[in-house]
Amino acid sequence: MQVTLTIPDKKADSFLDVLRHISYVKIEPSDTLCDEPSASEEEFDEEEFYSEEFYEDLKEAIHELNEVLAGRKQAQSAEEYLAELRAQDVQGRCVG
């Protein structure tokens, strides 16, 4: 039997950990399923996260948003943005 489940992102990792320990359950990856550790499982380095690069990226994003709101630039669609993320492989993480 095959079943599709919808699980909140913040609960998915712990649920999958339980399933992995049941011998007769087979988990097959899908476009939205990633078998890598979640951010909550990895050690969080606040200093690295809030680096100068982070603030530069944030500043650039705010500038771009202001350009879109002022009508000087066209916003990117969600589909285009997701395609761009997939192409960049987003630091090796799965993107649904």
In a domain, residue 12? The reply is yes
Is-contact 32 91, C-beta < 8 A?
no
Residue 14 maps to a domain: yes
Considering its fold, how many domains does the chain have in total? 2
Confidence at 31, pLDDT banded by 50, 70, 90 = low
Q: Is 68:74 a contact under the CB 8 Å cutoff?
A: yes
- pLDDT in the model for residue 33: 47
pLDDT band (50, 70, 90) for residue 71:
very high
Do 1 and 36 lie in a common domain? Answer: yes
CA 51 – CA 34 distance, rounded (Å): 26
Q: What is the CA radius of gyration of the chain?
A: 18
Instruction: Using alpha carbons, list the distances in angstroms from residue 32 to 6, 7, 36, 50.
Output: 11, 11, 12, 27
Q: Do 34 and 57 lie in a common domain?
A: no
Q: Are residues 33 and 58 in the same domain?
A: no
Residues 2 and 37 reside in one and the same domain: yes
